[in-house]
Amino acid sequence: MDHLTCDRCGAGLLLDAPVRYEVRVEVKAAYDPMEITDEDLAKDHAAEMKRILAELEGLSAEEAQDQVYREFRFDLCASCRKPYMKNPLAKP
């Protein structure tokens, strides 16, 4: 995303295109609303923390961050906007 070229096709966006489009995609972990049950209160929280830390071990800071939140920003030219809008998840 440099505002100068289309991130999909590489076309120039300053002189060659009358308009450019910015795409922002957020991927974030979604959790259900907090509801505390008797089962939650009875949990071994120290063991739960150990389990979570073990899961994070071996991951880089970036990989750990990606599991919670990641934002992507792209510039698109007018020609690439239409196919992107039709299939933003790039389904086959």
Give the number of other CB atoms < 10 A from CB of residue 20: 20
Q: Which is nearer to Zn ion, 11 or 23 (CB)?
A: 11
Q: Which residue type, as a one-letter code, is found at position 9?
A: C
- Minimum CB separation from Zn ion for residue 33, in Å? 41
Q: Rounded to an integer, what is the distance from CA 24 to the centroid of its chain? A: 9
Please, which residue, 9 or 64, has the CB nearer to Zn ion? 9
Interface residues for Zn ion in 62-91 (CB under 5 A)? Answer: 77, 80
Complex with Zn ion: residue 16 or 48, whichever CB lies closer: 16
Instruction: Say if CB 76 and CB 5 are below 8 A apart.
Output: no
Cα–Cα distances in angstroms (integers) from residue 31 to residues 12, 65, 71, 90, in the given order: 40, 16, 18, 25
Which member of 1, 4, 9, 56 binds Zn ion (CB under 5 A)?
9
Q: Which residues bind Zn ion (CB under 5 A)?
A: 6, 8-9, 11, 77, 80
